[in-house]
Amino acid sequence: YTITVDDSAQGAAIDDTMYGVFFEDINYAADGGLYAELVRNRSFEFNSTDASGFTGLTAWQVVNGGGAAPTAQVVNDATRLNENNRNHLRLTSDGPGDGVRNLGYNTGFALKAGATYDGSVWARSTTAQTVTFALTNANGTVTYASGTVAVDGSDAWKKYELTLTANATVNDARLAVTGGAASVMGLDMISLMPHDRWVGKNGLSTLRKDLAQKIADLDPGFVRFPGGCIVNVNSHRAYTAANNFPRARSYQWKETVGPVETRPTNANFWGYNQSYGLGYYEYFTFAEDIGAMPLPVVPAVLNGCGQGFRANEQNELQRHIQDTLDLIEFANGPVTSTWGKLRADMGHPAPFGLTHIGVGNEENFPAQFITNFVQFRDAIKAKYPNITVISNSGPDDEGTTFEQHWAQNRANNVEMVDEHYYNSPTWFLQNNDRYDSYDRNGPKVFLGEYASQDAKWFNSLSEAAYMTGLERNADIVKLASYAPLLANVDNVQWRPDMIWFDNHQSWGSTSYEVQKLFMNNVGDRVVPSTASGKVMQPTPITGAVGLSTWRTAAKYDDVKVTSPDGTTLFSDDFNDGNADGWRPLANRGTWAVTDGQFVQTNTTAEDTLVAGPAVAATDYDVTMKATKTA
């Protein structure tokens, strides 16, 4: 195979930020994943809105220290910890040792012998007592670590902290929290994290170390967050008394900042509860830690991801636009500003240097979307003219919605459009030239989500090949991120994924290795090149040379397949009388090599099929010219 490089020519400049990561709380990527909290349902807020069968006591068991069993009641009343943290546990016990036991995520708490764990609890009681944290086996007969806090009898909510040291390495421990006296006690925000967490320039984080390190090792140019479908689905109303504290809401950044005990939890589109322990401050600081540009996506006050147009909440639009302006102030504003002060209070007086923001994710309704988008964009530009505001292309790579979105984006002089597609490896190989023909005067492209739909080396190689096409078009494709980033093997809603983990280990997929290779070797400029020679095909060839999954709106031309000895197996210039010489996909054939024989099916009279000799399906010269039309 020969690659001819023309180093006298200048190709597109490639930005350092070209390849990044897309983090979404899908597959338990945040709670039970990157967020280092080991206690599941720590604030007793789980609810059937999150998932069928969830209750305030999901992942909790009652522990009886002797005598009558205690009552462990989840209450939502005026004695709550604060307005946003509606529920807490009321434990009524007749003596010491009564309490509750948390099951943790998946198999339980993963402990390492000698490692320390940071525990905390908010408690209130009229009875002063010693509260014990114990890491134990499933039925509490073996103790791996324990510690105590002294709860006073003031009947006021206070936070108590302790450190536990494990004496064993196990992956299925439980955490028991028990009282020291007959009493009525309120408990909330029961937390335990390994002390050995990710440390970056912002210091000790609340992120799980091995997962954060794997992301850091990619050396991403940007971090897109927090979604994905979790951004825009469900109600756009705020979590307030006036709205009766809606249980399922779009991702509203203000709910995710400030002290964790004041962050309301929310139903997650992917079928669980999101604690928001991993929130906007954590995203911004982590992005900074790993030298990546932060790229938040805010709800467009429509519903993406196939959820339909939510016309009855358009009254929320102006608040969400203001929230977006406030987000930029949180990221970049002076410490004297309202939201810049919150950033400083949380530990980061310096601005985060936000330059890009996305509005909406996979919106279904181009006309309504662009109406809302333009209002966001114009408000942002009026106050922050240097922020790039990213629109999107809808949920569909192929359909009319996609084309309509692009037309609307072009008509409204949008700067950048977020495209998403998940396709076969063949599609990625055949569409390497996708961006060659994109209008150089139109919006730039942010390829915010893509993946070849399986997890084999062939998929990853097809992604690598495709990325050379992105890079060749780096003048128009400015940003690209594989998706999704993380998956907990015990809670998978989507595959393939880039990084996999369970409670105590993590590993990268083959696509992780491809992404790492590209991100760690971003060039300065494309050097134009051409390639010629034999194309190795996998055995058997199915569709790989046949364009059988070619884009719906596409046409193609000039396909020729020859055997190693030069015999033409198939050729067709598709000169079927159309004025443009291009052949519509509707008339396509399907090509395959079966039992060593090149076969075309679905042929039409216009095709010229030459049945070649029996051949080993390993090595063919393929000449293929293909393009898509608008």
Question: Nearest 5°: phi and psi at 455?
Answer: -135, 50
> What sign does the dihedral 511-514-519-524 (CA atoms) show?
negative
Structure token pair of residue 604: 């039409």
**Residue number, 189 or 305, with CB nearest to ligand AHR:** 305
Largest CA distance in the chain: 91
Nearest approach in angstroms of CB 457 to ligand AHR is: 22
> What sign does the dihedral 336-338-340-346 (CA atoms) show?
positive
Q: H or E stretch including 345? A: helix 338-345
| Range in contact with ligand AHR (rule: CB under 6 A) among 45-53, 226-234, 590-598, 615-623 | 226-234
Nearest approach in angstroms of CB 161 to ligand AHR is: 36
The three-class DSSP label of residue 432 is: coil
Q: Which of residues 302-321 bind ligand AHR (CB under 6 A)?
A: 305
Question: Nearest 5°: phi and psi at 381?
Answer: -65, -35
**Residue number, 305 or 617, with CB nearest to ligand AHR:** 305
Among candidates 468, 424, 623, which has minimal Cα distance to 534?
623
| Range in contact with ligand AHR (rule: CB under 6 A) among 173-181, 224-232, 521-529, 538-546 | 224-232
> Rg for the chain (alpha carbons), in Å?
28
Please report, as a single letter, which amino acid is at residue 555. K
Quote the CA–CA distance of 533 and 529 in Å, as a whole number.
14
Q: Which of residues 467-496 bind ligand AHR (CB under 6 A)?
A: 483-484, 494
Nearest approach in angstroms of CB 53 to ligand AHR is: 23
Among candidates 55, 103, 59, which has minimal Cα distance to 75?
55
Active site residue 83: no
Contact status: 449 vs ligand AHR (CB under 6 A): yes
Considering 45, 255, 316, 362, which one is annotated as catalytic?
A: 362
**Residue number, 186 or 220, with CB nearest to ligand AHR:** 220
In the stretch 263-302, what mask flags binding to ligand AHR with x, by CB under 6 A? ----------------------------------------
Q: Which of residues 551-570 bind ligand AHR (CB under 6 A)?
A: none
222-225 and 19-22 as β-strands: parallel, antiparallel, unpaired? parallel
Contact status: 145 vs ligand AHR (CB under 6 A): no
H runs (alpha helix) in 191-268: 209-218, 229-232
603-626 burial by CB neighbour count: b if 16+ within 10 A, else e?
eeeebebeebeebebeebbbeeeb
In the stretch 2-31, what mask flags binding to ligand AHR with x, by CB under 6 A? ----------------------x-x-----
Nearest approach in angstroms of CB 232 to ligand AHR is: 9
Nearest approach in angstroms of CB 24 to ligand AHR is: 5
**Residue number, 194 or 226, with CB nearest to ligand AHR:** 226
| Residue 558 · residue 576 · CB < 8 Å | no
**Residue number, 362 or 607, with CB nearest to ligand AHR:** 362
> What sign does the dihedral 355-303-480-286 (CA atoms) show?
positive
Q: Which of 56, 70, 227, 296 binds ligand AHR (CB under 6 A)?
A: 227
Q: How many residues bind ligand AHR (CB under 6 A)?
A: 13
Quote the CA–CA distance of 294 and 343 in Å, as a whole number.
15
Residue with tokens 């134990």: 136
Q: Which of 56, 226, 228, 366 binds ligand AHR (CB under 6 A)?
A: 228
In the stretch 338-367, what mask flags binding to ligand AHR with x, by CB under 6 A? -----------------------xx-----
Nearest approach in angstroms of CB 22 to ligand AHR is: 7
| Range in contact with ligand AHR (rule: CB under 6 A) among 223-231, 455-463, 471-479, 532-540 | 223-231
Question: Nearest 5°: phi and psi at 324?
Answer: -70, -40
**Residue number, 99 or 226, with CB nearest to ligand AHR:** 226
Quote the CA–CA distance of 91 and 93 in Å, as a whole number.
6
Among candidates 17, 31, 40, 43, which has minimal Cα distance to 211?
31
Contact status: 421 vs ligand AHR (CB under 6 A): no
| Range in contact with ligand AHR (rule: CB under 6 A) among 221-229, 469-477, 520-528, 563-571 | 221-229
| Residue 260 · residue 245 · CB < 8 Å | no
**Length of the chain, please?**
630
| Range in contact with ligand AHR (rule: CB under 6 A) among 183-191, 227-235, 314-322, 612-620 | 227-235
Tell me the CA distances in angstroms from 242 to 21, 237, 245, 309, 322, one per residue in order.
Answer: 37, 10, 8, 23, 19
**Residue number, 251 or 556, with CB nearest to ligand AHR:** 251
Contact status: 226 vs ligand AHR (CB under 6 A): no
Contact status: 229 vs ligand AHR (CB under 6 A): yes
Question: Nearest 5°: phi and psi at 274?
Answer: -110, 125
Active site residues: 362
Q: Which residues bind ligand AHR (CB under 6 A)?
A: 24, 26, 227-229, 305, 361-362, 420, 449, 483-484, 494
